[in-house]
Amino acid sequence: MEFEIKKYGAIDIGSNAIRLLIATVTLYNNEPPVFKKTSLVRVPIRLGQDVFVDGNISQENIDRMVDSMKSYQLLMGVHNVKVYKAYATSAMREAQNGADVVQKIKEESGINIEIIDGSHEAAIIAMTDLHAVIDQEKVYLYVDVGGGSTEFTLFAYGKEIVSRSFKIGTVRLLNDMVSKSLWDEAESWVKNITNAYGYVDLIGSGGNINNIFKSSGKGTGKPISYFYLVNYYEQLQNYNYEERVYHLNLNHDRADVIIPACRIYLRAMKWSKAKNIYVPKIGLTDGIIKSIFNADNR
């Protein structure tokens, strides 16, 4: 009998927050591997606010990142993680001092960070395990909304067809940094790839849609409807920031970005004519874990 347990770490340095996912993978004989989330830590360092407005990561946030990476290194050590990957996305790849920050973090924490482009990000996200969500007979538009960008991937009849990243993110929208022409470009692209299919559902990932799904009270595997999302969006707009934190029990760094996130998901549903959105609670860190496992078990 063959039995093995492996632990991997995935760090996602996003525009709105920095996450560490530690996952346990169990191998048993020739059965499919079992992936289990062991620990998930999220630190609300809004790098996009620095970069999209000023072009650089501020000294305050550099210090916070260094401290976060030191703590992540310690956590991975006590969890006995043998292999990890740390990827930085939209904010870090646009920061003028991004390379310097990567070097400083390497020197002070030992964490190696790789800055990836939008297409690489979309490819990693597409590696996430969607078998529990995807019906082989259906068509899905997978929408991952981040602070700096949104990744779209079309799945048709169990196969990935095409993916693309757009610089339409929640932090950019908060700072009014998304042009009408970019919205139009995204709309045209989504309509072009989905119009050939009669019926499309959405799959949503990202912290905001996970939060919305939790508030819906829906059971695992059940979708939320376009009309529910519209009503929730209207409810959000009826509260000011402080009321969203207090009455809706939203984290302080979620209470503002959740509104532009709703806008992105609603537009994606409208463009693709989707009536439902499935929320499997997966994202970039899950894709990173899957990619590490695949590379480690070739």
pLDDT of res. 131: 66
Last residue of a domain, one of 78, 94, 119: 119
Residue type at position 209: I
DSSP assignments along 111-165, one per residue: ---EE--HHHHHHHHTTS--TTT--TTSEEEEEEE-SS-EEEEEEETTEEEEEEE
pLDDT of res. 2: 87
Q: Residue 277 belongs to what domain range?
A: 130-281
Q: Could you tell me if 138 and 275 lie in one domain?
A: yes
Q: Could you tell me if 164 and 273 lie in one domain?
A: yes
Residue 286 domain-assigned (yes or no)? no
107-117 residue pLDDT tens: 999 999 999 98
Residue 292 domain-assigned (yes or no)? no
Q: Could you tell me if 176 and 206 lie in one domain?
A: yes
pLDDT of res. 132: 66
196-243 residue pLDDT tens: 998 999 999 989 999 999 999 998 889 999 999 999 999 999 999 999
Instruction: With a cut of 70, list the residues of the chain below it in pLDDT.
Output: 1, 129, 131-132
Q: Could you tell me if 112 and 232 lie in one domain?
A: no
Q: Could you tell me if 136 and 274 lie in one domain?
A: yes
CATH number of the domain at 55, please.
3.30.420.40
Q: Could you tell me if 105 and 159 lie in one domain?
A: no
Residue 290 domain-assigned (yes or no)? no
Residue 254 domain-assigned (yes or no)? yes
Residue 289 domain-assigned (yes or no)? no
Residue 294 domain-assigned (yes or no)? no
Tally of domains in the chain: 2
Q: Could you tell me if 135 and 245 lie in one domain?
A: yes
Q: Could you tell me if 42 and 72 lie in one domain?
A: yes
What value does the CA radius of gyration of the chain take, rounded to a whole number of Å?
Answer: 19
Residue type at position 199: Y
Q: Could you tell me if 138 and 250 lie in one domain?
A: yes
Q: Could you tell me if 9 and 72 lie in one domain?
A: yes
CATH number of the domain at 232, please.
3.30.420.150
Residue 115 domain-assigned (yes or no)? yes
Cα gap 187→99, rounded to integer Å: 33
Q: Could you tell me if 96 and 161 lie in one domain?
A: no
pLDDT of res. 63: 97
